Amino acid sequence: MKHLLPDILALTPQLSEWRRHFHQNPEPSLKEYETAATIQSILNKLDISFETIGETGTLAKIIGTQVDANETQRQRSLLLRADIDALEVPDLKETDYSSKKAGLNHACGHDAHTAALLGAAKYLKDNRHTFGGTVLLAFQQAEEIGAGARQFVDSGLIDGVDEVFGLHVDPNVPLGKIEAIAGPQNASGDIFTIEVAGVNAHVAQPHRGVDALVAGANIVTEIQHIVSRQVDPLDPVVIGIGRFEAGTRYNVVADRAYIQGTIRAMTHDTRNRMIAKVEAVACLTAQIHGATVTFENYSAALPVINNEVQAKRGARVAAEFLGGSQHVITSKLPSMVADDFADLLTLAPGLYGRVGVNSSQGTSYGLHHNQFDLDERALPIMVNFHVAYALGYLNT
């Protein structure tokens, strides 16, 4: 902490104020209207230009003015990203900054992500004479449903960016430590639905119908065998089914069943194979029972795979401002949790890092927990990581 930039440490009270405002006023995915308005108001005060992406996303731009920057440096561009949406989770912790909105909570730390990127924006704007090139800042909506990053990609406004960088708070990591790890970090997140069509009949005469419930139950069972028998045990995959509905009453053969689940994988190839396998198993199993299926898949997120070059740079700059490599984690098992930062990685190589926020029992609750909180001393660390990574790339 003693090696953080003085100007960033001086921002700590402002960072806390911003974070607590967002925490008290959470908004769900694609409805972050007040959040976006607050972000854009702050950017206006900082005299930073921006454009609205979709309805609630914001893309800001800061152009470096370093006089002695060479042509290569002036042409470089970097995207820094923070997600802004909250969760439909009650806030049960007792603090003076608890959520004011019943049933909504920044239980994933996006309030801190947003405050930290605003802090980085202020520092970079105030010090734009120290670098050449362009820094784009994405305040991204709808990460929790995998619908935000693709709006930035589809806008075309970040085409040609050279690198992408993002941060996530981590209550499993102690305060004062940072993760900068190469390779797979987060699994893909696909949401599939299977609608089974059968034929109604009286349950006393089942041969006159086609039981969609029985067909659906067998589909659920057979899908469980894909990972256990058709995937290398060393290849991390999860196929989970969380919803199964069928039938209208006890004495009617069901003519419809509805199944919804998720696929998580660490590589693009495995992800694609699993989607195809689930659809094939559903169709073939339904056929055995005389039923038919309609299969749909929604890609919420691709796997997050950090590039080695960017991970090493992130680890190096983090070690410099944290006071040594002992404060940087460079090896760890990946998480099956998904994040649509992966969509940004389809445009350019990058790093998705994690910042420790755990210093007590109150800051040890996991992400998405109704008592999630974080140690706000992590906020200037997050800002410094954004800034150090950006300058480390632009000025190299």
Question: Which of the residues are catalytic?
Answer: 85, 143
Which residue pairs, CB below 8 angstroms and at least 24 apart, start in 309-314? 309/349, 310/163, 310/165, 310/349, 310/350, 310/351, 311/180, 311/181, 311/182, 311/183, 311/351, 312/180, 312/182, 313/351, 313/389, 313/392, 313/393, 314/165, 314/178, 314/180, 314/351, 314/353, 314/385, 314/389
C-alpha 230/C-alpha 169 separation (Å) is: 35
Burial of 204 (0-12, 13-18, 19+ CB in 10 A): exposed
Provide the terminal-to-terminal Cα distance of the chain, rounded to the nearest Å: 24
Longest dimension (CA), the chain: 86
DSSP 337: -
* Beta strands, E only, 308-387: 328-329, 350-358
